[in-house]
Amino acid sequence: MNGQSPVPESPPVHGKPVLVAVRNEPKETRVLLCGDTPVARDALALKLNSAVDINVTGTTGSGMEAIILARKLRPDVVVTDLKLGGIPGLDMIRRLRSGDQDLAPQVVVFAVTDTDEIIGGVLRAGASGVLDQNASPEDLMSAVRLAARGQVMLAPRIAQWLVDWFVDQPCSSLAAPQPRHPLTRREQEVMLLVARGLGAEDIAVKLTVGVATARTHIYRVRCKLGVRDRAQIVAFAYQSGLMQPPAGGAL
């Protein structure tokens, strides 16, 4: 039954059913929050939990404990600082994103300093959202929601850094990569939609197919390209010349 369809209320009045609207509840996004400062971590958890569609199911200041909690709690998104106890935040992100990509949580990194080494490391590790120290709690909520849908959100300065880095690469380092196996026409279409930032649900609507079918297409694209996640699909699309950096550096 469609959640927006009216349904009869029982008992009927004067022989006619009373119609009441049934509200669609937003899908809850489960979040694991990681940060090395307990006070800041707890305050951020309180802010995230104030959103009706976000539920912080666990918090930790340890990178190793974060990996254990991610396996136990199965969050949709891991929100993390890079300063963690036990193991560095980058190592934690790599371990989280190295498994089955259909089960691995998306990762949003906040309070990132804009140095080439740090930004490049976070993006290569497979983060779906990268926010700098100027990000607001509302920015973080938006990044969590987008990551849960398989989309990417970058702070403006980090997006600019990425475009500048791409433009500055010598032509020899941007030789068009080749997929391990040829893509079908539909798979090429899916690759380009992923590169434009669409998640599985949006791709399903765009192609008029089921969400499960869209996810299957994305999985096959990853396998044929020999990449492990959506971020690398995006990189492949740009490096192959099928997508071009936007004019003026705006993403």
CATH of the domain at 97: 3.40.50.2300
The larger pLDDT score, comparing residue 40 to residue 162, is at 40
Q: Pick from 37, 27, 34, 54: which is nearest to 96 by CA? A: 34
Is 98 in the same domain as 142? yes
For residue 200, give its domain range: 169-249
The larger pLDDT score, comparing residue 26 to residue 106, is at 106
Is 140 in the same domain as 186? no
Is residue 18 in a domain?
no
- pLDDT, residue 170, reads 59
Name the pLDDT band for 8 (thresholds 50, 70, 90): very low
Query: Token pair for residue 208?
Result: 């008029």
Secondary structure in 3-state letters for 97-143: HCCCCCCCCEEEEEEECCCHHHHHHHHHHCCCEEEECCCCHHHHHHH
- pLDDT, residue 17, reads 47
Cα–Cα distance measured from residue 74 to residue 148, given in angstroms and rounded to the nearest whole number: 12
* CA angle in degrees (0–180, nearest 5) for 59-41-127: 70
All residues at 6 or more sequence positions from 242 whose CB lies less than 8 Å from its CB, including other chains: 188, 191, 192, 195
> pTM for the whole thing?
0.64
Is 90 in the same domain as 117? yes
Residue 61, pLDDT > 60, answer: yes
- pLDDT, residue 222, reads 84
Is 41 in the same domain as 160? yes
Is 99 in the same domain as 223? no
- What does the pLDDT look like over 209-231, one tens digit per residue? 988 888 888 888 888 888 777 77
- pLDDT, residue 249, reads 41
The rounded mean pLDDT for the chain is 79
Is 225 in the same domain as 130? no
Is 161 in the same domain as 173? no
- pLDDT, residue 58, reads 95
Sign of CA dihedral 36, 40, 46, 48: negative
Is 158 in the same domain as 180? no
- pLDDT, residue 237, reads 78
Is 173 in the same domain as 161? no
Number of domains in the chain: 2
Domain boundary among 110, 141, 165: 165
Is 75 in the same domain as 128? yes
Residue 108, pLDDT > 50, answer: yes
Domain boundary among 165, 192, 220: 165
Is residue 17 in a domain?
no
